[in-house]
Amino acid sequence: MTQTVVSETVRRSPLFQGLTEEEIDGVLLNGQLYSLPRGSVLFRQGDAITYFYLIARGIIQLYRGTADGHEKTLDIVTVGQPFCESEVMNGYSHHRASATAVNDALIMKFPVFWLKETIKRHDKFALNLLCIISQQAHIAEVEAEHQARMSAAQLVACFFQWLCKLYDLDYHSFTLPYSKTLIASRLGMDLATFSRALGRLKNQHLSTSGAHVEIHDIERIGKYACDGCSFAENCPAHWSLKGKSGPAYLRNHITR
Amino acid sequence: MTQTVVSETVRRSPLFQGLTEEEIDGVLLNGQLYSLPRGSVLFRQGDAITYFYLIARGIIQLYRGTADGHEKTLDIVTVGQPFCESEVMNGYSHHRASATAVNDALIMKFPVFWLKETIKRHDKFALNLLCIISQQAHIAEVEAEHQARMSAAQLVACFFQWLCKLYDLDYHSFTLPYSKTLIASRLGMDLATFSRALGRLKNQHLSTSGAHVEIHDIERIGKYACDGCSFAENCPAHWSLKGKSGPAYLRNHITR
DNA sequence: CGACACTTTGAAGACGATCAACGCCGGTGG
DNA sequence: CCACCGGCGTTGATCGTCTTCAAAGTGTCG
């Protein structure tokens, strides 16, 4: 991937929405590209926070090890998405999660102090950041509600719809962008439970074979996943799959 | 409660941290006090978002009704805490939750457009808001992880510690600030399950009778709650109970 | 072809939701 | 003053779901 393409994906990040090309140029001068081969660790929980990151290529897993030896994936971040921005802002000095490359990745990193300075200097940048973090907070709330209220199969159905939206996949027929083990960890369930949940979804017009998924009746899946979910159109799973709004994280910014 | 006392609690809100007294005065001119008798509804999910709020007295329950007729309490907010700030910021135009007064409450409300203006105008205010929302995002993440990984009894133990911190209670012996029904709903569990969880905690040096709680061995409870929890010192339940840092939501602001 | 990572499946047990009955308390009305 | 009622909390029985442990199956890559 050439330098040009990289900067294009980075430039489209919601973080820079509304900035002029020149402003973005100025910002990007402060970031450095960093190559991260598959499986390598970017930082571990407990490390000091020194950078904030933006993904130019690849997928990063954010996860946390628990005292009892388990591991929960907090998030799986993709091209154009920033991460660690909320860690930077909320006053902790050390990472509360670890980050590993799921596949060969390329990230752009910005020093923390630079971020804080930029916030003070650029209105728009600060507003974008507020937006992004607010949305994260909302999604996390949704997540907590789902965990408390929905069955494993519902969580999976919901997550698949979210995946389609995020990666711009055709829900009729798509391939999972990463392993089932990772998805199960992301959903906070056992791999065995995940596997069985897929079995149950066969009755709901969603079939899988290997990493390939087909949703035959999207209406039904939407209904099934979120009958126990209170989000209606605010639920990630419900964000209109037909809308052409592009990846979800690019939307919903403050308009004025 | 006199007007003076009200403004004092409001003034101590994390939102205004670092502002001069004059600046705060200026800000407060834009808010209007609003009395909310016990049980009355401030807004319902689906209503247009027109204000952002700050609690001067009392307790507000934020909850969401689900399609299947259930109800999940998202948050229970107390004196000095702002709410709806993230709803305002993330670009939705309608409330995704309903708000009801748990007891007689007094709130201060600020028009949404004023909030957005103020963010653009005052660095510090924007930074405070970023901080607060980041922390909310983090807490929500923690919450989701807890829901996925911890047993009902662990959730309860964790929540009690958080309560002590938030309301500045003596963990050796305190009274629950609101009903068990509300707490159960907040924790996303059935009231019956909550009740049984209390029974189990008796083996863990935590005893209850009515709304009165006694924690005999705080170390043990901390360990019990978060052996399945990965937060160590980042877990609300683990925020040192002996620290004199005051309510948790007042801490951790950006220092420069 | 063998090693290894990933996934599926089975059987056992723990846990939480649900339905239901009961006790407790405060308030209201006769 | 007492009877009744409704909200709240506890407890029991039952049932479905999820985790865990374990074994077997699938795939890929050297």
How much of chain A, in percent, has pLDDT values that exceed 70? Answer: 85
Q: Within chain A, what is the greatest distance between any pair of CA atoms?
A: 55
Burial of residue B111 (number of CB atoms within 10 Å: 0-12, 13-18, 19+): middle
Mean pLDDT score, B150-165: 92
Which residue, A64, A98, A89, A126, is CA-closest to B253?
A89
- Which strand C nucleotides have any atom less than 7 A from protein CB atoms? 6-11, 15-20
pLDDT at A96 over 70: yes
Nearest CA in chain B to A133: B134
**pLDDT, averaged across chain B:** 84
- Which residues make up the interface with nucleic strand C when CB must lie under 7 A? A 148, 179-181, 191-192, 194-196, 198-199, 208, 210-211; B 70, 151-153, 188-190, 192-193, 196-197
Q: Which amino acid is at B62?
A: L
What is the rounded distance in angstroms from the CA atom of residue B81 to the CA atom of residue B56? 8
Q: What percent of chain A has pLDDT over 90?
A: 40
Does B98 or B90 have the greater pLDDT score?
Answer: B98
Give the pLDDT score at B61. Answer: 95
Q: Which residues are registered as beta bridge partners of A72?
A: A64
Instruction: Give dist(CA A208, CA A159) in Å, integer.
Output: 14
End-to-end CA distance of chain A: 35
Q: How many residues does chain B have?
A: 256
CB contact under 8 A, B229 and A66: yes
Confidence band, pLDDT 50/70/90 cuts, at residue B227:
low
The Cα–Cα gap between A233 and A243 comes to 12
Q: What is the mean pLDDT of residues A8-26?
A: 86
Protein-contacted bases of chain D (C-beta within 7 A): 8-13, 17-22, 27
Residues of B in contact with A147 (CB under 8 A): 144, 147-148, 188
Which DSSP category does B49 fall into? Answer: P
pLDDT in tens, A111-149: 999 988 888 888 788 888 888 888 888 888 888 989 998
Phi, psi of A122 (to 5 degrees): -110, 110
Count contacts between A and B (CB, < 8 Å): 165
- For residue B176, what pLDDT band results from cuts at 50, 70 and 90? very high
Give me the residue from A65, A90, A127 closest to B230, CB to CB. Answer: A65
Predicted local distance difference test score (pLDDT) of residue B179 = 95
Phi, psi dihedral angles at A49 (to 5 degrees): -85, 115
Higher pLDDT, B37 or B253: B37
Per-residue pLDDT of A30-51, as tens digits, reads 999 989 999 999 999 889 999 9
Length of chain A, please?
Answer: 256
Q: What is the pLDDT of residues B8-21, one digit of tens each?
A: 888 888 888 888 88
pLDDT band at B253 (very low <50, low <70, confident <90, very high): very low
Measured between beta carbons, the chain B residues lying within 8 angstroms of A18 are: none
Residue A215, number of CB atoms within 10 A of its CB? 25
Average pLDDT of chain A is 83
Q: What is the pLDDT of residue A234?
A: 58
Question: Do B107 and B54 touch, CB atoms closer than 8 A?
Answer: yes
pTM across the whole model: 0.88
Which has the closest alpha carbon to B254: A67, A93, A171?
A: A93
B92 or A187, higher pLDDT: A187
Rounded to whole angstroms, the Cα distance separating B139 from A96 reads 12
Q: Are A101 and A36 in contact (CB under 8 A)?
A: yes
